[in-house]
A and B are shown apart, each in its own frame.
Chain A
Amino acid sequence: MRIAVTGLGAVSGIGFGVSENIESLRTGRHGMGKPRFFQTTLDVPVSEVKATNTELAKRLNLNAERTYSRTALLGLMAAREAVADAGIDVSKKRVGFISSTSVGGMDLSEVFYNDFRTDHNRGRLRLVSQHDCGASTEFIANQLGISGFVTTISTACSSAGNAIMLGARMLQHNMLDAVVAGGTDALCKFTLNGFGSLMILDKEHCRPFDATRAGLNLGEGAGYIVLQRSEDAAHAPYCLLTGYANANDAYHQTGCSPEGNGAFGSMSAAMAVAGLQPSEIDYINVHGTATPNNDLSEATAIRRIFGDRVPPFSSVKAFIGHTLGASEGIEAVYSALSVKNGYVYPNLNFKSADEAIGLAPETEFAEGRRVRNVLSNAFGFGGNDTSLVFSRAD
């Protein structure tokens, strides 16, 4: 069975919709700036979606008077774009929606908590009733009119990769005919302070794979792709999803092993599912968070697989930040277009190679390259590593 990618949707700090995202990547316009849309005293760059919740609700033709979690709004925006792009009839029973998020409606819960902490009878209930991860998923599914299989995965930063993998497997098992899969996450105090407490936030603009890299910048957004069996596609697909795998590093709760065991496991297994040799991968969209630990560990795993023939690779995290549960949703969209149009994205802010890594990423936007297969990585807390392979449909 061939699984086709037939629809794409993305919103991030560098654009509303897929074309604005690509235009920003093409012109080197990143999304970093001081936090403007949520209250924090931390002085670190973040890549926010440049709109208030009210503006987002208006763009989505929702009643702007009501309270929505930002996670739900961003998710609806990207998922709606993906569905329209694929031209699928979502009212059919065998259309599924598999979303993912790392913190769900936390952006509202932390507002609720300010009142609740001193008196448990206080705090607006509408602010906390959307706390759980399933809330944004159900909201988006209802808005889209999807009544088939709906679920939510939450495996920290690899969440959306796992959602896409589940979608592909449900098509393989003939449990669904079409599936919208990806992830959404809004920035909030909780995650920003969480990564701050781990001392892995860079106070400057992050520099993936650079010798001077000193941590990550967070971002927010959402990304979804539509998967169908290729014979069911309404139009020529962007590409095929040929490989997927999930492996566990089982080394440390938040850090990666020096040998990159989990990353090695997920990348090699995804390539095996796709039936590909290392020489057939033409671009790797790396996880590349810009923490000293992640980039070294990921590079080590890449070397173990590709030896001295490492294909062109880059991290888009200096553009959009680490968007956590949404990251592989957005990056799957970028990867699909890399295969379709031969795009290779620049790894912004890379200047000098790290001797320990010994690899240099792509630094210029390219198009029309021969890109047969793209390998895309997403790694998360709990040692959770996921890799996807996107391949040309012809």
Chain B
Amino acid sequence: MKPVYITRTCQIANDQLVMDGVEAVLDYKEIIADPALRRRMSRIVKMGVACGLKCIEGLTPESIDAIITATGFGCLADTEKFIESIVANSERLLNPTPFIQSTFNTIGGQIALLRGIHSYNVTYAHRGLSFESALIDAAMQVNEGKKNVLLGAIDEITASSADIQRRLGMTREYELGEGANFFVLNATASGNKSAAVLDIDTRSGRLTDDKLIEWIVETANRNGIEISDLCIVANCNTATTDNIKKRLSLKNKPLQFKTCDYPTLSARALDFAINNSTANKTLIISDYQHINHSLILLGRG
């Protein structure tokens, strides 16, 4: 596959909007101007839709050839609201809004609806590899000749899911996080920070640091890159990062990125890498709950 270029980045996290690495004003009322649609949106939908809309600001609907979204858990607040109403009302007189909004593709669908975008629209929901799957699809779309492919990832924390994840032992290493990250992908570079996605690879199941390091070397070799030239963005725990530092001779100090955890955090790591790494070749190493792993190799635009 030919390299694809990320020409715009947009992030909403911790109530902050960051476009191409620069903080901007986050005003949901201004971004999602239609009050009729906005009033039904839960936090994750607002966050995702606003982030997606800002990312394609100024582009015409006809020029956007695909909308590809990813979410590990989907719209949890609406899902719980609807389950609660089923139990509380004994399956009678249920408000349909939370059911409609609970669908995994709600955010992709709403962006299409608000901007009148009739093109390809798909949502991936595959744990810690949801975003990687979407990125692979987006790269294929660009290789198929599509322009301005909107790619995004969204996950939210709710009180209930936090309690469940804590009980499942998923918060042992990191606190839970949430956020929305969107990107525009094209076949050619544009903008001052555009990055090229050169390779994406994924694995599932436990992975020892030895195997991970082997995999990193393999990936670098396959792409004809000297390991020492790589800047590593570590979306994994610090013990693994330290091991990588010890075992590989790197000119650049790895950038420790992971400070919280959620299934599509790798999308935020990608935004971070694009806007913070100054090296020519950057490798993002992601580990979600030690069950999903990915390597994303970036070059300069």
Q: Which residues of A contact B (CB under 8 A)?
A: 40-42, 102, 104, 109-110, 113-114, 116-117, 120-121, 125, 128-129, 131-135, 137-138, 147, 149-156, 162, 166, 169-170, 173, 175, 189-190, 193-194, 196-198, 246-254, 261-262, 265, 380-384
Tell me the smallest distance from the CB of B74 to a CB of chain A, in Å: 7
Alpha-carbon gap, A352 to B129, bound state (A): 49
Residue B130 at the A interface, CB < 8 A? yes
A380 to B105, CA, bound (A): 10
- Name the residue of chain A whose CB is nearest to the CB of B80: A113
Q: Mark B186-200, 1 if CB is under 8 A from A, else 0.
A: 000000000000000
B109 interface residue per 8 A CB criterion = yes
Kindly list 18 other residue pairs between chains A and B, CB separation below 8 angstroms, not including A132-B72, A155-B105, A248-B109: A42-B91, A104-B125, A113-B80, A132-B73, A133-B74, A134-B72, A151-B126, A156-B103, A170-B140, A197-B99, A246-B122, A248-B67, A250-B112, A250-B116, A253-B100, A253-B109, A382-B103, A384-B105
* Residue B124 interfacial (CB < 8 Å): yes
List A contacts of B106 (CB < 8 A).
Answer: 253, 381-382
**Known contacts A113-B87, A154-B74, A173-B143; is A198 also within 8 Å of B118 by CB?**
no
Asked if residues A133 and B137 are in contact (CB atoms below 8 Å), the reply is: no
Q: Is the CB of B125 within 8 A of A189?
A: no
Report whether A190 and B82 are in contact in the complex, using a CB–CB cutoff of 8 Å: yes
> For A152, what are the chain B residues with a Cβ–Cβ distance below 8 Å?
124-126, 130, 133
A169–B66 alpha-carbon span in the complex (Å): 15
B119 touches A (CB below 8 Å): yes
**A247 touching B119, Cβ below 8 Å:** yes
Do residues A156 and B202 form an inter-chain contact, with CB atoms below 8 A? no
Tell whether A382 pairs with B124 under 8 Å between CB atoms, given A189-B86, A198-B100. no
Give A392 Cβ to nearest chain B Cβ, in Å: 26
Judge whether B228 is part of the interface by a CB distance below 8 angstroms. no
B164 at the interface (CB under 8 A from A): yes
Q: Does B277 sit at the interface, judged by CB under 8 A?
A: no
Q: Does B95 sit at the interface, judged by CB under 8 A? A: yes
Contact with A along B10-38 (1 / 0, CB 8 A): 00000000000000000000000000000
Q: Are B125 and A133 in contact (CB under 8 A)?
A: yes
Q: Which of B80, B112, B126 contacts A382 (CB 8 A)?
A: B112
Contact A138 B94 (CB under 8 A): no
Beta-carbon nearest neighbor of B133 in chain A: A151
Name, among A104, A114, A134, A383, the residue most crowded by chain B CB atoms within 10 Å (CB to CB): A134
Judge whether B87 and A117 touch: CB under 8 Å: yes
A166-B137, A381-B100, A382-B105 in contact; A196/B122 too (CB < 8 A)? no
CA distance A265 to B116 in the complex (A): 14
Whole-angstrom distance between the alpha carbons of A154 and B133 in the complex?
A: 12
On chain A, the residues within 8 Å of B73 by CB distance are 131-132
The answer on a CB contact under 8 Å between A114 and B87 is yes
CA–CA, A153 and B123, complex, Å: 6
Complex Cα–Cα for A41 and B145 (A): 51
- CB closest residue in chain B, given A101: B125
Nearest-neighbour CB distance to chain B for A388, whole angstroms, equals: 14
Within 8 Å of chain A (Cβ to Cβ): is B204? yes
Min distance, Cβ A203 to any Cβ of chain B, angstroms: 14
Are B118's CB and A193's CB within 8 A?
no
Given known pairs A113-B83, A251-B113, the reply for A41 and B90 (CB within 8 Å) is yes
Do A120 and B82 have beta carbons less than 8 Å apart? no
In the complex, which residues of chain B have a beta carbon less than 8 angstroms from the beta carbon of A381?
A: 100, 103, 105-106, 109
CB-defined contacts of A247 to chain B, threshold 8 Å: 118-121
User: Would you give the 0/1 interface string for B45-79, flagging 1 where the beta carbon is closer than 8 Å to chain A?
Assistant: 00000000000000000000001000011100001
A residues near B108, Cβ cutoff 8 Å: 155, 382
* Chain B neighbourhood of A149, CB < 8 A: 202
A-B contact pairs, 11 of them (CB 8 A): A116-B164, A117-B84, A120-B164, A138-B127, A150-B204, A170-B140, A173-B143, A189-B86, A193-B82, A248-B117, A261-B118
Distance in Å: Cβ of A131 to nearest Cβ of chain B: 8
**Most chain A C-beta atoms within 10 Å of own C-beta, residue among B99, B118, B121, B263:** B121
Q: Is the CB of B94 within 8 A of A193?
A: yes
Give the residue among B67, B80, B133 with the most A Cβ atoms within 10 A.
B133
User: CA of A371 to CA of B66 in the docked complex: distance in angstroms?
Assistant: 33
Query: A194–B99 contact, CB under 8 A?
Result: yes
A162 to B202, CA, bound (A): 21
With A41-B90, A381-B103 as known contacts, state yes or no: A132 contacts B125, CB within 8 Å: yes
* Interface flag for B239 (CB, 8 Å): no
A113, A116, A197, A247: most-surrounded residue (chain B CB, <10 A): A197
User: From B144, which residue of chain A is reached at the shortest CB distance?
Assistant: A169
Contacts of B79 in A (CB 8 A): 190
Closest 9 A-B residue pairs measured CB to CB?
A: A382-B109, A194-B99, A154-B104, A134-B127, A197-B96, A133-B125, A151-B133, A197-B94, A152-B126
Are A253 and B126 in contact, CB atoms less than 8 angstroms apart? no
Known A-B contacts A132-B72, A155-B123; the reply to A190 vs B103 at CB < 8 A is: no
Tell whether B110 is near chain A: CB-to-CB under 8 Å.
yes
Residues of A contacting B104 in the complex (Cβ-Cβ under 8 angstroms):
102, 133, 154-156
In the complex formed, the residue of A with least CB distance to B94 is A197
Query: Which residues of A are found within 8 Å of B121, using beta-carbon distances?
Result: 155, 246-248, 382-384
Give the shortest distance, in Å, between B158 (CB) and chain A (any CB).
Answer: 11
CB nearest to A173 among chain B residues: B140
Task: Determine the chain A residues whose CB is within 8 A of the CB of B160 once the complex forms.
Answer: 116, 120
| Residue on A nearest B61 in the bound complex, by CB | A250
Interface centre among A154, A156, A246, A384 (most CB of B within 10 A): A154
Q: Is the CB of A132 within 8 A of B127?
A: yes
Complex interface: chain B residues within 8 A of A250 (CB): 112-113, 115-118
Q: Which residues of B contact A265 (CB under 8 A)?
A: 118
Distance of A325 from chain B, by nearest CB (Å): 10
Question: Are the CB atoms of A134 and B130 closer together than 8 Å?
Answer: yes
Q: Report the bound CA distance from A163 to B19 in whole Å.
A: 32
B211 at the binding interface (Cβ < 8 Å)? no
Taking a contact as CB atoms under 8 Å apart, the answer to whether A173 and B94 are in contact is: no
Residue among B73, B109, B120 with max Cβ neighbours from chain A (10 Å) = B109
For the complex, give the distance between the alpha carbons of A120 and B84 in Å.
Answer: 13
Q: Contacts of B143 on A, CB cut-off 8 Å?
A: 173
The answer to whether B222 has its CB under 8 Å from any CB of chain A is no
- Known: A117-B87, A121-B167, A381-B109. Contact between A151 and B82, CB under 8 A? no
